[in-house]
Structures are given as structure tokens and as C-alpha cells.
Structure 1
Amino acid sequence: MDEKGGAASTPRLSTVARSLAALTLAGLAASPAYAQSNVTLYGSLDGGLRNLVNGTKAGGAALTMASNGVYNSNRWGFLGKEDLGGGYYVRFNLEAGYVLSTGALNNTNNQIFQRTSVVGIGGPFGQIDMGRQFTLQHYVVKDFEPFDFQYLSITESTAISGGDTGRDSNAINYRGIFGPWVVRGTYALGGVPGSVANGSTLAGGLNYRTETFKLGAAYTHRSNPLTATSSQYFGSDQYTAGGAVTVGPVDLMGGYSLVLQDVPSTLHSQTRNQYLWGGARYQVTPFFNVTAAYYDNKNKTNGLDGRKDVAILGVVYLLSKRTQLYADVDYTHFTGVYVTNATLNPSGHSKQTGVSAGINHWF
């Protein structure tokens, strides 16, 4: 029917349709064959509450909604891939973080895609990505991190990964999969005028994977600028190793990482940071799992010792493939100079107990 209620002009519409079809076929015949490509929008929303006893300087409990998620980091992003044929492809990934409670960016420097911003190419040789991305340490450790980088504000996983919140900017990352072996390499440009080494990162690593065992090791060297404009820099070396074993529905895993860093104030002494962790993950049913882990960080700087121990027990229940409920209870103990370290321990209390619960949805 037309707008006045009368019969529509069927012959005219048929003529137009045939003309459009002919033009479309002609265009397809004249166009070259392009590779297939796709873009995926994805994200995570984590609405959780956390109560931390001794979470304030006065000693009271602090009830909060974590700015970037309790269990999972709040994020959204684009993942794209173009098939070039012959097993080759081009990919990109842009990922941003946000604060669920306010909708703001989860950083103060207005970096939209501060989580990931890469473009890369892959094929039979492996995959090369360029841009801001997770550190090589992160990818190696992922195979034997008990919580698979969940509860990042509680565990020591971000510190173990190193870099800027577990990421490197200006990074060129290589990954090659050869049977059970995964070969990794990273070079991150420093971007300091007049110096190739200043501010740069060089890392290499290996993962070995079977259905029962997962092993990994990595080495990272960082040349950290003394100041933003200084031509001087100080070195940092990180050595990491760990593994996991699967026995039925249970995964047992553990790891060790040692960071030796020159002290910028003197450039003649070192800070020694030692990380040790272990845990177990039990898949009780396809919908319910329990994970327990322990993290230990020992620090020694100029003869002063600090230590942070974290014990955590978490449960997850899947409501669907994309929605899950979670809860945890954790205990953190600070000793030595860590008790008064305002960055690591804002409340200043040596012993803190936390309880968290919430819902996480993926899209």
C-alpha cells in the first residue's frame, strides 16, 4: 500500500529492483577479490562490593565498590582480524578500561585505549604485534597464575608482571607456537631522544604446554630513565619460572620471580624483590569452581626489609556462559618497612582481612 492507502506501484518497484540487482552484479564482477575480515566488540562489566577490615587509618572497615572491578577488570574493546590467505592474517586490538560506578575512564591521564592498543601480522612464522600491550612476563605467567589474573587489586599478579600496570608501551612482541612450545620475545622502544637504550625493554620467554603439564620461564631487562628528561638510566633484571599440573578437575600451580633493580638515588646499590606464589583450582562442577592461593613478596632495599603475604580463597558460580557470581575472603599481612609504605599499604595497618562479592558479565 502507498501512503494514501492505495495500491503501490508494483511494476515500478520491480523495475527498480531489477536495475539495482544488475548494478550490484556488475560491480561484483568488476571488483577484485578481497580477503575476509571481521571486527568484534567485546567487554566486561564487574559490579562488586568489597569490605576491608583495617582498611582505614582509624582501623575501621572500608566498604567500597572497586573502581575497576573486584574480580575482573571493567573493559570494552574492539578485536579485528583480516584473512590474507595462505595462513597469513592482519589483526588489531583496542581496549579501554572504565569505572563502572561512574562511567569515567579508569585512569587520570585520559588514555582511552590504555589497556591495549596494537596492530599485528601473523602466519606460519608466528605473530608480531606492535603498540601498547601486556608484558612478556604476563603472557608467560598466565599459565601458572592461580586466579588467572583475577582479583588484581588483592593478589601480587600485577607486580609480578612488571611494566606499567602489567603493560609495555612502544612494544614489539613476537609469539611463535611450535608444537608444545611457545617462543616469546619483546622489544619496547624507550622513546628517549638521543638514546636507543634509555627507557627500553628487552625480554624473552618460553612456555611448554601439554594436557597435563605447563611450564614457563622468562627474563626481562629494563633500562629505566632516571627522570623524564635525563640521559641517565638504571637497570632492572627480572627472572621468572613456574609451572602447573592438571590432575582430573584440579590444577596445581606455582611460580617464582626475582627482580633486581638498581636504586636510582645512588646507582650503586640494588633493590631485591622476590615473589613466590602457589595455589590450586578445583572445578567442582562445570558451573562452579573454587580457587585458593598464597602470594609472598619480600623486598630488601639498602638493608631495609619489607614483606607482604596474601592468602585468598575465591569461588565462582556460572549463571550462564557470560554471567557469573563470585565471592572471596582474603588475608594480607605486612611486615617491616611495608607497614608504613603509603603506596602499598594506605591504611598503615599490618593485618587486613577482606571479603568481596559481586557479579561479572562478559559481552
Structure 2
Amino acid sequence: MKKTAVAVGAALLALSAQSAFAQSSVTLYGLVDTTVRYLTNANSNNDGQVAMGEGVETPSRFGLKGTEDLGGGTSAIFKLENQFQLWSGKLDNSSNQLFQRNAYVGLSNTQYGTLTLGRQQTPFFEMMGNIYDPLTVADFWQDSWAYNPVGPFLFTNSSIKYQNDFAGLHVEGMYGFGGVPGSTGENSMYGLTASYTLGPVQAMAGWQQNDVSGKKFNIGNLGLVYTVTPDIKLLAGWLHSQDQTGTVDLAEQQSGAPSLAHVSPNRIDDNFYVGTTWQVTAPLALTAAGYYGHARNAETLDGTLGVGINYSATLLAEYSLSKRTEVYGTVDFTRGTGAYLADYPGRNNQTGVAVGLRNIF
């Protein structure tokens, strides 16, 4: 009888442990993506270049994410995400951060929202990359230059972020701790975005401010998505930024662009975009996007401050071979004048053609 009781107790304990484990999960995920790309005017001699590099939309990455059910609609969550160069195997950053894209832990509640702490994507990047930009904030300079002003500030260390949904309204807010003794504001950041869905229309507005050693970078943006049919979407938006930190002039430059003698103490950019995505058939998707930018008080090649205009257009075709694997091809063109001449290694226009392969796991 005693042995039976022990056996029953052990069985119940085992079932309890299985139940506890069933309420928790850790997932390994990621994607590998690379292209072979031809680019005109790729250096100061205006030579063409054929190279292997990152994917048009999605840099290669892998990560771990986990959740544990704490009961009452509350879960503990975490995410660790790395970005790397598939063609070289190197970490895709100059500081050799192991988890460049995300490294956070938090709590999520079905009613009260989600609170996370660590290194995280800003609300601006999360909204634009997931919903409002037709190319999901692309990777080639010729596709993503409009986002280069905010490029150094797309991720924030030592940050706390909150997000929640209220009927059709989605809000995200973030604060990054500067960590400077005697000054709570220095090297800090804050950002807030709000989006609202009403029928086929999704609209968003956002604001972000970063402090760099006491100087400010500000960006505000508006975005709109209109779902014409379940397979066709139209997208448009505006990004306005003001930079007192001197980072934008350098962030806008391509590799191989001429060195600048100075940087602007108060550069202002207004960038606009329009685009469409079309799921033509189950395996075939087409994307078209156009970007136009106007810079003021930007550093020019002769060391003065001036105006610059840049514009680009991109066509992207993606074909799914399975639920996890796709091939794609893309063509893009970009041209700059004025202050944007400092951002090209050679002539002020470039055409790129690329084919790529992506696998998601």
C-alpha cells in the first residue's frame, strides 16, 4: 500500500511538472538572407561593382525568445536577438555586440499591456519596420537613405518600454536612461508612437528625442496605410528631423563617400515616401516604393552649409518557394543634388540590381 501511494505521488508530481513546463516555452528563431548585387558608380572612379551582401529588406539574424505563464493573464517574457553578416560570418556591427537587435526581459498582461527592460528597438523603428514602410526600412543605402538620420538611434540601451492596445488604438512609449552621474537627461532618449485602425485605414504619429552629450536629435513622423483589398495596400508617410548632434551628416554617407571637413550643428531633414504592396498570387508579391528628401543646413563638400535633395525609386519582386524560403529580385535608382553630393562615392546617381535568397526558421 505504501509503495502504491509513493507511486501515485510520483506520478502526480511528474504530471505537475509536465503541466508547469507546458506553460513555459523557449523558441530559437531567425532568418538567413543574402544577395548578389550590381551597383553603378560604386567608387570615386565611377566603377560598377558586383558584390555579395545583406538582404534587401531583412539582415540575417537569430535569436531566442521565451515566455512563462504566471497566471491571471500575466506572462514573463524575454528576447535575445543577434544580427550577423551571412557572407562573412561576422557580427553585423562595429562594437561586436552579441545581441545587437534586442536583449530584454519583461512582463506582459492581456489587459494591462507589456513592459520590457533592456536593449530594444525604438517605437519608431518597430512601427515603421513592421507596418508603415513599404520596404520595412530596407538595408541597401539606395533604399534606406531616408531613414539614415535616425539610423544611429533605432535601438536604445538601458531602456524601458511599454505598449498596449485600447480597442483600435495601439500605443508604445520608451525611455532610455542616460546613466550620466549628476545629469538624468544627458545621453537619454524618449519616444512615443500611437497608431489607430479604422476599417481599411491605419494611421500613426510618432515622436522621438535623443540626447548626445547634451545636444538633441529630434524626429517626428506620420504614416498611413490603406488596404484596398486584402492583397493590395497603399502606403505613405512623412519624416521630419532636426539634428544638433552632428551625427546625421555622417550617417547619411555611403561607404567610400568623400570626407567632410565639418558637420552641421543644426541639420533639418524632411523625407517623404509613397509605396504599394501587392500579393499578386499566393507565391508572388510585388512592392514599389519612392522616397524624396529635402535637407537644410546640411554640410556640403566645400565646407559650407546648404540645401540638398535626394530621391529614389525601388521595385521588388518576391517569390515563395515554400512557407520558409523565397527568392527575390530588386531594381533601384537614386539621385542626389546639393548637400547630398557628399553622400555619393562618385557620380550623384546610382542604379542597383540584385537577386537574393531568404530562409526563415
Bin of the TM-score, shorter chain as denominator length: 0.7 to 0.9
1:259 paired residue among 221, 241, 256: 241
Q: Deviation per CA, 1:141-190: give whole Å up to 9, x if none.
A: 24221122344543237726825362111111111111110011110111
- Rg larger for: 1
Q: Deviation per CA, 1:66-101: give whole Å up to 9, x if none.
A: 1x4334210010011111111111111101111112
The answer to whether the Cα contact below 8 Å between 2:178 and 2:189 also exists between their aligned partners in 1 is: yes
- 3-state DSSP of counterpart to 2:125: helix
Instruction: Specify whether residues 29 and 44 from structure 1 end up closer, same or farther in structure 2 by C-alpha distance, changes over 3 A only.
Output: closer
Once residues 300 and 63 of structure 1 are traced to their aligned partners in structure 2, the CA distance between those partners, rounded to angstroms, is: 34
- 3-state DSSP of counterpart to 2:124: helix
> Who is 2:48 aligned against?
61
> Who is 1:240 aligned against?
221
- 3-state DSSP of counterpart to 1:56: coil
1:357 paired residue among 331, 355, 358: 355
> Who is 1:130 aligned against?
117
Once residues 161 and 325 of structure 1 are traced to their aligned partners in structure 2, the CA distance between those partners, rounded to angstroms, is: 30
- 3-state DSSP of counterpart to 1:203: strand
Once residues 321 and 104 of structure 1 are traced to their aligned partners in structure 2, the CA distance between those partners, rounded to angstroms, is: 27
**Length, aligned pairs only:** 334
Q: What is the 5 A alignment of 1:1-363?
A: 24-25=10-11, 27-28=13-14, 34=20, 36-66=23-53, 68-123=54-109, 124-141=111-128, 142-156=130-144, 159=147, 162=150, 164=152, 166-225=154-213, 233-248=214-229, 249-262=231-244, 270-301=266-297, 303-341=305-343, 345=344, 347-363=345-361
Instruction: Specify whether residues 64 and 298 from structure 1 end up closer, same or farther in structure 2 by C-alpha distance, changes over 3 A only.
Output: same
The answer to whether the Cα contact below 8 Å between 1:181 and 1:208 also exists between their aligned partners in 2 is: yes
Shift of 1:210: 4.0
The CA RMSD over aligned residues, in Å, is 2.7
Once residues 325 and 271 of structure 1 are traced to their aligned partners in structure 2, the CA distance between those partners, rounded to angstroms, is: 39
Instruction: Specify whether residues 159 and 71 from structure 1 end up closer, same or farther in structure 2 by C-alpha distance, changes over 3 A only.
Output: closer
Once residues 149 and 80 of structure 2 are traced to their aligned partners in structure 1, the CA distance between those partners, rounded to angstroms, is: 20
Look up the equivalent residue of 2:311 and give its one-letter code.
Answer: D
Once residues 339 and 300 of structure 1 are traced to their aligned partners in structure 2, the CA distance between those partners, rounded to angstroms, is: 14
- 3-state DSSP of counterpart to 2:152: coil
The answer to which of 139-148 and 122-131 deviates more is: 139-148
Once residues 179 and 151 of structure 2 are traced to their aligned partners in structure 1, the CA distance between those partners, rounded to angstroms, is: 15
The answer to whether the Cα contact below 8 Å between 1:54 and 1:60 also exists between their aligned partners in 2 is: yes
Once residues 29 and 70 of structure 1 are traced to their aligned partners in structure 2, the CA distance between those partners, rounded to angstroms, is: 48
The answer to whether the Cα contact below 8 Å between 1:152 and 1:158 also exists between their aligned partners in 2 is: no
Look up the equivalent residue of 1:116 and give its one-letter code.
Answer: N
Identity of aligned residues (%): 29
The answer to whether the Cα contact below 8 Å between 1:180 and 1:210 also exists between their aligned partners in 2 is: yes
Instruction: Specify whether residues 351 and 88 from structure 1 end up closer, same or farther in structure 2 by C-alpha distance, changes over 3 A only.
Output: same
Instruction: Specify whether residues 305 and 83 from structure 1 end up closer, same or farther in structure 2 by C-alpha distance, changes over 3 A only.
Output: same
The answer to whether the Cα contact below 8 Å between 2:57 and 2:136 also exists between their aligned partners in 1 is: no
Structure 2: 5+ residue runs without aligned partners? 248-261, 299-304
Q: Could you tell me the TM-score, scaled by structure 2's length?
A: 0.85
Q: Deviation per CA, 1:230-277: give whole Å up to 9, x if none.
A: xxx112221111101011121001100101122569999621011111
The answer to whether the Cα contact below 8 Å between 1:128 and 1:174 also exists between their aligned partners in 2 is: yes
The answer to which of 296-305 and 272-281 deviates more is: 296-305
Shift of 1:26: 6.5
Q: Deviation per CA, 1:326-345: give whole Å up to 9, x if none.
A: 1100001011122123xxx3
The answer to whether the Cα contact below 8 Å between 1:138 and 1:161 also exists between their aligned partners in 2 is: no
The answer to whether the Cα contact below 8 Å between 2:169 and 2:196 also exists between their aligned partners in 1 is: yes
Look up the equivalent residue of 1:199 and give its one-letter code.
Answer: N
Once residues 168 and 157 of structure 1 are traced to their aligned partners in structure 2, the CA distance between those partners, rounded to angstroms, is: 20
